[in-house]
Amino acid sequence: MMKTTKILGSVMIVAVLAMGAMTGCGDNSQKTVSTDGSTSMEKVIGYLSEAYMENHSDVKVTYNPTGSGAGIQAVQEGRCDIGLASRNLKDDEKADLNETVVAIDGIAVIVNSENPVADLTVEQIAKVYTGEITNWQEVGGEDAPIVCIGREAASGTRDGFESITGTADKCKYAQELTSTGDVVQTVSSNPNAIGYASLASVSDKVQTISVEGVMPTEETILSGNYKIQRNFILVTKKDKELTGSAKDFFDFCMSSEADEYITKAGAVPVAK
């Protein structure tokens, strides 16, 4: 009795595990488009691929969140169809790769709505976050300590903010929060706080400050006047044209149809 039940039990467990393992593989006849790269682009590519797959049920768009550098390398080595990068290509990479800007990521700097400070330069923002400036008085505000709110280490927004302000690995945060909503909430409840968030996620509860006199809007981001922004690019190989569903998906990303989804994902679509 005991023995049979044990065997039965183990068979069941194995069956459950095997089922779990198999869910990863789909129908092999399906066409796949593989993308690989920037973790910051997760939302953009997520919205785009979901929208695309809704109309093309026979195509599966995969996304491997490895980081911009790894994504570019993957295209070079032919391990994926489209690479995703949240920075422009370097000159040596441009030798055999094409870059196409699909969207622009604007990062808004926010303060509490009671804060009289309305404008900072990129340099001032960098100094605030690295701990060189610790009092609002030094940037034209009241005599109060500055509380720097940021995102967790692996966040794409944090990566973008730190790379644009040149503060990578040097920021002294008071809080590292795991979502944009938490950042907005915390800044809205602390009069001394400063934070950053994707432009699309900022609400009226907080005050968005202008950077070097320019408020972040779709227009100023597109024109490049707003400084804290970066490009989201699609990377493809020069000597190998995209074909089939990969080309179709690429064209969809670049079409005006995609604008809606890019906006939903919190980025600014580029002018077509």
Q: Can you give the binding site for other proteins, defined by CB under 8 A?
A: 1, 4-6, 8-9, 12-13, 39, 65-67, 144-147, 152-156, 168-169, 173-178, 182, 185-186, 189-190, 192-193
Nearer to other proteins among residue 94 and residue 172 (C-beta): 172
> Taking the complex as a whole, how short is the minimal distance between the CB of residue 9 and other proteins, in angstroms?
4
| 148 versus 258: smaller Cβ distance to other proteins | 148
Alpha-carbon distance 68 to 225, whole Å?
24
Least separation, in Å, of the C-beta of 3 and other proteins?
Answer: 11
CB of 98 to other proteins, least distance (A): 26
Contact 35, 63 (CB under 8 A): yes
Cβ–Cβ < 8 Å for 170, 143: no
Nearest to 179 by CA among 206, 152, 145, 200: 152
**What's the chain's Rg over C-alpha atoms?**
23
Question: How many other CB atoms are found less than 10 A from the CB of residue 262?
Answer: 23
Distinct helix (H) and strand (E) counts, the chain: 10, 12
Cβ proximity to other proteins, 58 vs 152, nearer residue: 152
Round to whole Å and give the CA distance between 137 and 117.
9
Q: What is each CA distance from 151 to 43, 87, 171, 196, 267, in whole angstroms? A: 16, 19, 11, 8, 18
CB of 95 to other proteins, least distance (A): 25
Nearest-approach distance from CB 183 to other proteins, in angstroms:
12
Output the smallest distance, CB 152 to other proteins, in A: 5
Is 6 or 94 the residue whose CB approaches other proteins more closely? 6
Complex with other proteins: residue 116 or 181, whichever CB lies closer: 181
Of the pair 182, 257, the CB lying nearest other proteins is at: 182
Of the candidates 117, 160, 159, the residue with the CA atom closest to the CA atom of residue 139: 117
